[in-house]
Structure formats: C-alpha cells, structure tokens
Chains A and B, each alone.
Chain A
Amino acid sequence: MTETMNAPTPAPDGASTGAPILEVTDLKKHFPIMKGLVRRKVGDVRAVDGISFQIRKGETLGLVGESGCGKSTTGRVILQLDRATEGSVKYEGEELVGKSTSQMRGLRPNMQMVFQDPHASLNPRMTVASIIEEPLIEHRFGDRAERLAWIEELLGLVGLSPTHANRYPHEFSGGQRQRIGIARAIALNPDFVVCDEPIAALDVSIQAQVVNLLERLQDELSLTYLFISHDLSMVRHLADRVAVMYLGRMVELAPVDALYESPQHPYTQALHSAVPVPNPIVEFGRERIILKGDIPSPANPPSGCSFHTRCPIATAECAERVPEWRETNPGHWVACHLV
C-alpha cells in the first residue's frame, strides 16, 4: 500500500503559497482490538491508514469527514497525543514521530490544541486564571506578576473581561468556555493550532462568534490552523484548503473553491450534496446524491477503495485495488480510479 501513497509537493494554487510548517507522510494509527481472558490481539482498528499531506505556514487546512473517519485521531497523532503506528510527521523539518514525552515538551509551546467539548476540557476545580496560567508555569513564562498581566491581556484578546479571571468554568456558558480554551491554547504564542471540532458543541448563534474569534486571532497572531470538523459549510467559510477523509484514508485534498465547486471524488460529491442549505428555493432545486448503506467499520474496512461499497459509480477494479493518491490538477489531490 505504501507505494501508492506519495507525499504531495507544494503547488502554486494561489490559496496559500507559504512554506510547509507541517509535513505528514504515510501516517498510520492502528488501535489493537483485544479479546478474551488473556487479552489476545485479534485485529486492528485502522483509525488512520496511510495519509500524506502538508500544512503551509499561515493557512487553515480544513479536515472533514463523518464520525469514525479518523479526522480527530489524525489531529491527535500530529501533536503526538497518540503515538503513530507508522509514518512521519515533520514540524518545521523536525521529525516528531519517535520523540519522547520530554523531547516533545520543548516543542509544545509551538503547537497547541482547542478541544471539542469546553465542558470536559476545563478543570472544574480551577479558576480561569489558573487554567490559563498552568501552561505558562510549565514552560517558565515570566514571574507571577508578568503571567497575570499576560492572562489579563489574553482574556481581552478572546473577548472576555479581566474580571472573569477568578471565576470557575461552571459560571460560564458554552461559548465563553470555548473562549477560555482558546485563551489557554494561544497563551504560549504557538504557531500551529489543531482545532478539533471547536464549535460542534455550541449553539448556532454562538458558533459564528467563536469562528470569527478564531479568524481574528489567526490574522493578529499569524497562526496556522488544522481545523477538524464535520460541518462542511463552516469549513468552506474559513479554510484555505480542505482535505476529505473516509475510513482512515484521505480521498480528496484541494483548495477550498475547487473542492466545493468541482469536487472530483464521488464521496466528496455525495457529502457536499447531503448538506442542507438554509434556503427553501435552493433546496427544492437541488439534486441530492443519496448514498446507500452505512459507513463500514474501520476494524474491517472493505477491500480496494474503502468507499466502493457505497459508491454510486464503483467498478470491479475498485474492489480490488487501492486507488492511487494523485494530483489531477495543480494542488488538487484525489484517490479514485475513475477520476
């Protein structure tokens, strides 16, 4: 399978031409399935099964897919929160796979994460100030007075008031809690932030607030984002390039306009057409591709192209051979035999 996966080279597609900040090559993450009294290994959940891509400095790469496609695992493996089974993750040219926890600690200030659930990712027994201060202490940032001044500034930056510093997470709404999580993520001036479904747990009217905040911070602090989401509409709004995953593999990667205006992979096309548009006139006129069946289990993925069991145009070849990850247009990557 490895020979079918090639690392994409930077392409002049206009969306973003910065140097790569992150290079992922043939990354795999398999979780063992244990069974029986002696916990014998009986198989693998292939959460991420050989993906290659780059993220360029200053861009937002959207990573979309349905539940179980491996998008969150990808984010966690990139940050070495889960260890890769195989493959390489290079941050500014430096290999991360195989680094020890203490070796990683030195790099942590550069790469941070915003989690999905602002209720679960903030310690309920710590005040907002101590939540944001924790990484600052860990990485020996200034003395106490300097830290508190910076926390005050951070709270302002994410749209909270300095008076919030001594309150506890339960005193805040979901949107405000997500702002606290963002303040913690940017506290150490990172260059690269993985946002793992940062708005999925929020109400519609609050989602736009948080997305606008993330966009403003990106401009002000020149951040690079990997934005993991199942919300295709929101990803279109904020990403420069978008990657689509299905069952642990990447099926398409393209600049945002190309991916949404001329999606090439049948899965991307189906995903795109399944998203409802908040406009009745558009909705009535739309042709919808209804995929049959359910998403197969990543513990037992179909042979060949893993999408072939649901693909409306699959041929015999699709069940046999894994499609090659290739560049069909400059910057537009797709894994399908029929494109």
Chain B
Amino acid sequence: MRGFWVTVALEESPLSAEAVLDVSGLTTRFSTPDGVVHAVNDVSFELRAGEFLGVVGESGSGKSVTMMSLLKLIPMPPGHIDAGVADFGGDDLLSIDAAALRTIRGGQIGFIFQDPMTSLNPVLTIGKQLCEPVMLHTGADRKAAKARAIELLDLVGIPDAAQRFKNYPHELSGGMRQRVMIAMALACEPKVIIADEPTTALDVTIQAQIIDLVKDLREKLNTAVIWITHDLGVVAGLADRVIVMYGGRIVEQSPVAELYARPEHPYTQGLLNSVPRIDQKGGELTSIPGQPPSLLAEPTGCSFAPRCPHAFDRCLTEIPQLAAIDAAGEHLSACFWDTVEGRERT
C-alpha cells in the first residue's frame, strides 16, 4: 500500500497522434413498443494509444450505449446498430464475426462495469473468475493462470491476495469488488479498457482509493482508457481529453484543461455552472432550465436547442456538426453559435 498522503504531481501527458480505436458515424437505435429510441446518433471519435479519454453525459445521453455498441454488448434485439465503422487495429468491430469479436472482448479490450455485484458471478470464487479470461485468451494452464490471477489481485491493491483468491464476491466490500473488476479487465493486458461509471456506486472515500489505484496503474501499464461518467469532477483529475455527450450526440470534445477553462458548447457551460464546488463558497447555482430530450423523435435540429439560452431559428431545423474551433483542431464543438464572439458561427 502507498502512504496516506499522496501528492498528485502536475503531469503533462503527451497526446500521441496514433489512434488505437477509430469510430465514425456510429448510430444505434432501439425498437421499443413506444417507438424507435434514437440512442446514439452519428457519433465519431478516436481513442489514441495510451490516452485517458473521459466521456461525460447525463442519463440518456448515449455515453454507455456508444461504448457498449462497439463490442455489441447491447441487447440485440431490441437494439440495432444502423450505421458506423469502428476501426480497431485494422478490424471493423461492427462487421467482424462473433468469434473474432469474442477474442477481442475481454482480451484486447477490457471492460469495467458500474456495479461489480451484478457483473461478478456470485457462485464462483473471484479466483476462478479471474483465471477464466487468462486461460481463454492467453492459453495458460491452470497453474500459470492462478499465479497470474494472484499477481493481478496484488497489482490492484488487494491485501493478502493468495487468501482472497478463494473468496466469493459477497465476502468482499464494494470497493474490493471493484478492484477485482479492474484486475479482470487488466487480466490479458488489453490495449483498451472501457470503464462505465466505475466509481458511481462507491462512497466518496472508496472512490478516492479507486481513482488513486487507476492513476497508479496508468503509469505502470500505459493502457488507453475510456472512462464514462456523469461526474465532471472525476474526469477533471484523470483525463487527457474529454468528450461531452447530449441527446445521443457528441456536443463537445477537447483536451481536459481547455474544456474546463474555455467550455464552448452552451450545454457544457451550463453543466459546469450548475455544479457546486467543494473548494468554493456558495453563490448562485445557474441551473439549466427544462428537461433532457426525449429520444423517441427523430432529431431535426440541435437537441439542446429547447434548453439553450443562445438558440435561434437555425438550431431547430438543422443539426449542428462537430467541428474544430481552435487552430490545432483539438477542440471541437457542435454549435451554430459562437459564445465568445456572441454571433452565429461561420
């Protein structure tokens, strides 16, 4: 274990240009008795080698469905992927056959889910569950897999790993179970880890432990991470780049420092103004009026327009596309209004 007082050094992680995952035009819909749910609409982004990508959005923004769609982890039917390409090392994840996808899932791309109690098998020991992917993906025998599993439990900071190997999930606390989930995701040394709200179900002091662990592992392993969350605070300290989603679309994408210093999309601005900060005295909270959009209607304009203080007629009839707004092409926003200049973007 590390000491109690951990200093987080200011680090500038280099943004390498090489993409390990390149998604374009992903569109996922669900056919329900109420109609077609437009969950993900024309989403394109890339994940660069070794980077930490935060994906922020509220419930129904499409952040989880986007990532689940990539590995076909959504229930199909009712879900269906209507369009898109997801290039992962030369393979298109959305069109390769089920067997090829199985070797990638859990092997080259690891997953960490929100609730470890429902994603771990309650009737198998955590050791058995850890050995399974190791044996399946690396072809290791039982003995080697066990050694690897204990090594992984140790790596994620589970004390007395050899003993814990024999425990069932219910014998562990929430924080420990999430550590086991992380160990499972890391088991086959994946190139990419997708973490879906991994600390949302945890108490704040346990969340701090897990975040500390993830920071530590990042330095050791150099795996690219996609971290899905609704908490703007969590990604601020972790991510290199952040994607903000709303109504099934990416509305803003930017390097982390730039996003918080100069949020460009009115939704991102609204979100940042509506969360109180523990390091600042109270003051007015500026709430975003209205409700999140219904995804049942085919969007004809910007889905944030009904809640947006800057909306004008064009926003209701045309869907704004994600476009670079800085010289480097790193900061992208999907909005017709230039909030800095106070006029329509040209």
Do B278 and A260 touch across chains, with their CB atoms under 8 A apart? Answer: yes
Report if A280-B209 is in contact (Cβ < 8 Å); known contacts: A205-B287, A289-B4, A292-B1: no
Q: In the bound complex, what is the Cα–Cα distance between A332 and B1 (angstroms)?
A: 34
Report if A203-B287 is in contact (Cβ < 8 Å); known contacts: A278-B236, A282-B279: no
User: How many Cβ-Cβ contacts under 8 Å join chain A to chain B?
Assistant: 157
Which of A230, A237, A276, A277 meets B285, CB within 8 Å? Answer: A237
The A266-286 residues at the B interface (CB cut-off 8 A) are 270-286
Chain A binder among B68-76, B105-113, B226-234, B337-345: B226-234
Chain A binder among B5-13, B29-37, B86-94, B95-103: B5-13
Q: In the bound complex, what is the Cα–Cα distance between A288 and B208 (angstroms)?
A: 8
Smallest beta-carbon distance A320→chain B, Å: 22
Contacts of A208 in B (CB 8 A): 274-275, 285-288
Smallest beta-carbon distance A257→chain B, Å: 7
Q: In the bound complex, what is the Cα–Cα distance between A281 and B207 (angstroms)?
A: 20
Smallest beta-carbon distance B307→chain A, Å: 8
Residue on B with the closest CB to A68? B203
Q: In the bound complex, what is the Cα–Cα distance between A292 and B173 (angstroms)?
A: 13
Contacts of B291 in A (CB 8 A): 173, 175-176, 206
What sequence of 0s and 1s flags, for each residue 1-33 of chain B, a beta carbon within 8 Å of any chain A beta carbon? 110111111110000000000000000000000
Report if A280-B236 is in contact (Cβ < 8 Å); known contacts: A205-B288, A237-B285: yes
Taking the complex as formed, is A316 at the interface, i.e. its CB lies under 8 A from any CB of chain B? no
Taking the complex as formed, is A17 at the interface, i.e. its CB lies under 8 A from any CB of chain B? no
Taking the complex as formed, is B256 at the interface, i.e. its CB lies under 8 A from any CB of chain A? yes
Contacts of A278 in B (CB 8 A): 232-233, 236, 260, 272, 275, 277
Contacts of A291 in B (CB 8 A): 4, 205, 208-209
Contacts of B230 in A (CB 8 A): 203-204
Q: In the bound complex, what is the Cα–Cα distance between A209 and B284 (angstroms)?
A: 11
Contacts of A281 in B (CB 8 A): 257, 260-261
Contacts of B260 in A (CB 8 A): 278-281
Do A277 and B208 touch across chains, with their CB atoms under 8 A apart? Answer: no
What sequence of 0s and 1s flags, for each residue 236-263 of chain B, a beta carbon within 8 Å of any chain A beta carbon? 1100000000000000000011001100
Contacts of B232 in A (CB 8 A): 204, 278
Do B203 and A230 touch across chains, with their CB atoms under 8 A apart? Answer: yes
Contacts of B275 in A (CB 8 A): 204, 207-208, 233, 278
Do B8 and A277 touch across chains, with their CB atoms under 8 A apart? Answer: no
Taking the complex as formed, is A148 at the interface, i.e. its CB lies under 8 A from any CB of chain B? no
Do A236 and B278 touch across chains, with their CB atoms under 8 A apart? Answer: yes
Which of A212, A272, A289 meets B287, CB within 8 Å? Answer: A212
What sequence of 0s and 1s flags, for each residue 191-221 of chain B, a beta carbon within 8 Å of any chain A beta carbon? 0000000000001111111011000000000
Contacts of B119 in A (CB 8 A): none
Contacts of A312 in B (CB 8 A): 4-5
Report if A238-B209 is in contact (Cβ < 8 Å); known contacts: A207-B274, A280-B256, A281-B257: no
Do B175 and A294 touch across chains, with their CB atoms under 8 A apart? Answer: yes
Report if A238-B282 is in contact (Cβ < 8 Å); known contacts: A203-B292, A205-B274: yes
Q: In the bound complex, what is the Cα–Cα distance between A152 and B9 (angstroms)?
A: 56
Smallest beta-carbon distance B53→chain A, Å: 14
Do A289 and B5 touch across chains, with their CB atoms under 8 A apart? Answer: yes
What sequence of 0s and 1s flags, for each residue 268-297 of chain B, a beta carbon within 8 Å of any chain A beta carbon? 001110111111111101111101100000
Do A285 and B10 touch across chains, with their CB atoms under 8 A apart? Answer: yes
Residue on A with the closest CB to B291? A173
Taking the complex as formed, is A67 at the interface, i.e. its CB lies under 8 A from any CB of chain B? yes
Taking the complex as formed, is A287 at the interface, i.e. its CB lies under 8 A from any CB of chain B? yes
12 chain-A/chain-B pairs, Cβ below 8 angstroms: A203-B59, A204-B230, A204-B232, A205-B288, A207-B274, A208-B287, A209-B287, A236-B276, A274-B204, A276-B231, A292-B4, A295-B205
Q: Which 9 A-B pairs have the closest CB atoms?
A: A276-B233, A283-B237, A208-B287, A274-B208, A237-B276, A208-B274, A278-B232, A66-B203, A203-B58
Tell me the B residues contacting A by CB distance below 8 Å.
1-2, 4-11, 58-59, 173-176, 203-209, 211-212, 230-234, 236-237, 256-257, 260-261, 270-272, 274-283, 285-289, 291-292
* Given A276-B236, A280-B257: 7 more A-B contacts, CB < 8 Å: A203-B292, A204-B231, A206-B287, A232-B204, A236-B276, A278-B272, A284-B237
